[in-house]
């Protein structure tokens, strides 16, 4: 089974590329983040024509997550159970389902904005709720993984220049501790470093030629439990999909399983 995660930065803007990529990559399940559409506006019909079912948790604007599968899509849960609210709303940042016997979450962790901002406190609280929500599945016997845009670079090796990010979100000790807490709950990063090239970033800003200069961050992650990690045969970041006109600022992260 081929499973991938991709922050598409608007599924409407990225739809032609998304459909072409699904066909060319042979992906069985795709976890999507930042759909930037409503559930009603989600392109379920276009995906169905390619043989994919879909489930979406989205209300428009900047958030929204989805699962797209051609190997089944059952036991769908919208949202993060016990998750915190921001400005009185539980944002659509999580969705889970079972695809071909594998339990998967697609998550879009809050950005945090600035260390002194309320959104940063919200981000840390969101991580706490995520850890509690996934604990049972993480310890269970079936393959289970949480995929998505975590908005945290796990180590200094996961950013192009640690000095540039000093004092900023995505690299603070508290954020990295929150990520480590997921590992303590029984999940591990199943995409190793290095892959087929040094510094396998997954996100590059649109500005200042960040992608051509490889000034990126590795913030799109696949965290799986032991049965999931044991089944991993290969993994890669599809940098080619970050190239060209109309690309997302994130690249897909792909994992192949022997299930």
175-233 tens-digit pLDDT:
999 999 999 999 999 997 655 556 689 999 999 999 999 999 999 999 999 999 999 99
From the CB of residue 104, how many other CB atoms can be counted at a distance below 10 Å?
A: 28
**232-237 vs 29-33, strand pairing mode:** unpaired
Does 149 count as an annotated binding residue?
yes
H/E run at residue 4:
strand 2-7
Q: Which residues of the chain have pLDDT under 50?
A: none
Q: Of 147, 152, 146, 210, which Cα lies nearest the Cα of 179?
A: 152
pLDDT at 192: 72
Does residue 108 have an active-site annotation?
yes
Does 151 count as an annotated binding residue?
yes
Rounded Cα distance, 167 and 160, in Å: 15
7-20 tens-digit pLDDT:
999 999 999 999 99
Does 40 count as an annotated binding residue?
no
Rounded Cα distance, 15 and 12, in Å: 5
Q: Of 28, 31, 29, which Cα lies nearest the Cα of 5?
A: 31
Question: Which runs of E-coded beta strand occur in 100-191?
Answer: 102-108, 144-149, 188-189
Fold of 2-257: Deoxyribonuclease I; Chain A (3.60.10)
Q: Which of 108, 120, 122, 150 is labelled catalytic?
A: 108
Does 249 count as an annotated binding residue?
yes
Q: Which of 149, 158, 220, 238 is labelled catalytic?
A: 149
pLDDT at 199: 64
pTM: 0.97
Does residue 250 have an active-site annotation?
yes
pLDDT at 117: 97
- For the chain, the structural domain boundaries read 2-257
């Amino acid at each position: 089974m081929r499973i991938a995660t991709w922050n598409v930065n608007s599924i409407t803007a990225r739809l032609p590329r998304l459909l072409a990529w699904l066909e060319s990559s042979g992906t069985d399940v795709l976890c999507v983040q930042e759909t930037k559409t409503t559930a009603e506006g989600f392109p379920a019909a276009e995906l169905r024509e390619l043989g994919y079912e879909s489930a979406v948790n989205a209300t428009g604007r900047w958030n929204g997550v989805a699962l797209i599968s051609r190997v089944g899509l059952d036991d769908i849960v919208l949202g993060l159970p016990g998750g915190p609210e921001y400005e009185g709303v539980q944002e659509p940042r999580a969705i889970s389902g079972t695809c071909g016997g594998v339990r998967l979450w697609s998550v879009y962790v809050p950005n945090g904005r600035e260390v002194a901002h309320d959104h940063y406190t919200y981000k840390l609280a969101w991580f706490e709720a995520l850890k509690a929500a996934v604990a049972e599945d993480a310890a269970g016997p079936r393959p289970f993984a949480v995929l998505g845009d975590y908005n945290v670079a796990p180590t200094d090796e996961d950013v192009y220049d640690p000095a540039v990010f000093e004092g900023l979100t995505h690299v603070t000790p508290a954020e990295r501790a929150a990520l480590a807490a997921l590992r303590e709950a029984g999940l591990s990063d199943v995409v190793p470093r290095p892959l087929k090239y040094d510094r396998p970033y997954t996100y590059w800003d649109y500005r200042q030629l960040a992608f051509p200069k490889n000034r990126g961050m590795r913030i799109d992650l696949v965290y799986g439990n032991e049965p999931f990690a044991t089944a991993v045969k290969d993994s890669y970041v599809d940098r080619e999909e970050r190239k060209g006109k109309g690309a997302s600022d994130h690249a897909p992260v792909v994992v192949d399983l022997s299930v």
